[in-house]
Amino acid sequence: MKDSRIAADGLVLLGCGKMGSAMLAGWLKRGLPPTSVWVTDPAPSDWLQGQGVHLNAELPDAPALVLVAVKPQMMAEALPTLREMGNADTVFVSVAAGTPISYFETVLGADTPVVRAMPNTPAAISRGITAIVGNAAAGARALDEAETLLRAAGEVVRLEDEAQIDAVTGVSGSGPAYVFHLMETMADAGEAQGLPRDLALQLAKATVAGAGALAMEAEEDPAQLRRNVTSPNGTTQAALEVLMDARNGFPPLLKRAVAAATERSRELSRG
């Protein structure tokens, strides 16, 4: 990232909460000079103040990229302050939930390159996955720059259409909470079978983390990995007969959960 247009022309980070801080830490670790970064944040953390970036200072006239990481309720106040950067070469990348590309085009101008991104919270340890989609003005260059930047937070995938963002929100955006709840309920179930709470939670967390790591490394898909550990008439099969029940098991439950998150995302985008 040292020799990129971002390093040369500068990066503006509008908002630097947990997600913004996680991404900034990743960029700096990958070699982006702190002097190439301008951060606008009304309540900067102690960590941010010690990074050597331009903090709440006058912004460059034409930075290479602006990452919009403010909360949706702050968008109407914060975004218009950058209107002069619109309709030019500056690429706007938004990780703000529920804010469609059309909003940016209305505020900044229809010819503004805009990339909408949906990350998830494992970005904080560079193990997230982010889906991106751009408007007509963005083109291949803007998407490439956004992907380069967002890879600091983990994997990046490109969508064919902005409408897919809502389903991405339902699967990966909200997905970490589903997995955390799985850990909780596994620990509860282990405790109900006589295990101490701390041990049950340790077993649940390590099992979910290990299974996830195996799924990422293995050549087989998750369905095959499941079959690999399921002996006929064994303990795993007994559990899976409950979990895979067509009426009350994981399949219908997760479909309803993802559908609910997806629909809520659509509602937020409509305002």
Q: What is the pLDDT along the chain (271 residues), one digit of tens a residue?
A: 554 788 788 999 999 988 888 888 888 888 889 999 999 999 999 999 999 999 999 999 999 999 999 887 888 899 999 999 999 999 999 998 889 999 999 999 999 999 999 999 898 888 999 999 999 999 999 999 999 889 988 999 999 999 999 999 999 999 999 999 999 999 999 999 999 999 999 999 999 999 999 999 999 999 999 999 999 999 999 999 999 999 999 999 999 999 999 999 998 888 6
pLDDT at 120: 92
Q: Check if 5-168 and 175-270 are the same fold.
A: no
CA-to-CA separations, 68 to 96, 117, 163, in angstroms, rounded: 7, 10, 20
Q: Phi/psi of residue 117, each to 5°?
A: -130, 145
Query: Is-contact 226 139, C-beta < 8 A?
Result: no
Residue with tokens 């899976």: 240
Nearest to 33 by CA among 52, 47, 15: 52
Which residues contact residue 180 at a Cβ distance below 8 angstroms, ignoring those fewer than 6 apart?
none
Q: Alpha-carbon distance 192 to 190, whole Å?
A: 5
Query: Is-contact 112 92, C-beta < 8 A?
Result: yes
Q: Alpha-carbon distance 271 to 262, whole Å?
A: 15
Q: Alpha-carbon distance 214 to 229, whole Å?
A: 12
Q: Which residues are annotated as a binding site?
A: 14-19, 56, 69-72
Nearest to 183 by CA among 202, 196, 155: 202
The residue count of the chain comes to 271
Q: 38-43 contacts: CB < 8 A, separation 24 or more? A: 38/10, 38/11, 38/12, 38/13, 38/63, 39/12, 39/13, 40/12, 40/13, 40/14, 40/15, 40/78, 41/13, 41/15, 41/16, 41/17
Q: What is the pLDDT of residues 88-144, one digit of tens each?
A: 999 999 998 889 999 999 999 999 999 999 999 898 888 999 999 999 999 999 999
Under CATH, domain 5-168 is a member of which superfamily?
A: NAD(P)-binding Rossmann-like Domain (3.40.50.720)
DSSP SS3 for 156: strand
Q: Which residues are annotated as a binding site for NADPH?
A: 56
CA 165-170-172 angle, to 5 degrees, is 85
DSSP SS3 for 141: helix
DSSP SS3 for 247: coil
Domain positions in the chain: 5-168, 175-270
Q: Which residues are annotated as a binding site for NADP(+)?
A: 14-19, 69-72
pLDDT at 264: 93
Q: Alpha-carbon distance 9 to 147, whole Å?
A: 17
Pairing of strands 114-118, 128-134: antiparallel
Sheet strands side by side (includes 91-94): 54-55, 37-40, 11-14, 65-68, 91-94, 114-118, 128-134, 154-158
**CATH for the 175-270 domain, from 3.40.50.620, 1.20.1250.20, 1.10.3730.10, 3.30.300.130:** 1.10.3730.10
**Count of C-beta atoms within a 10 Å radius of residue 50:** 9
pLDDT at 237: 97
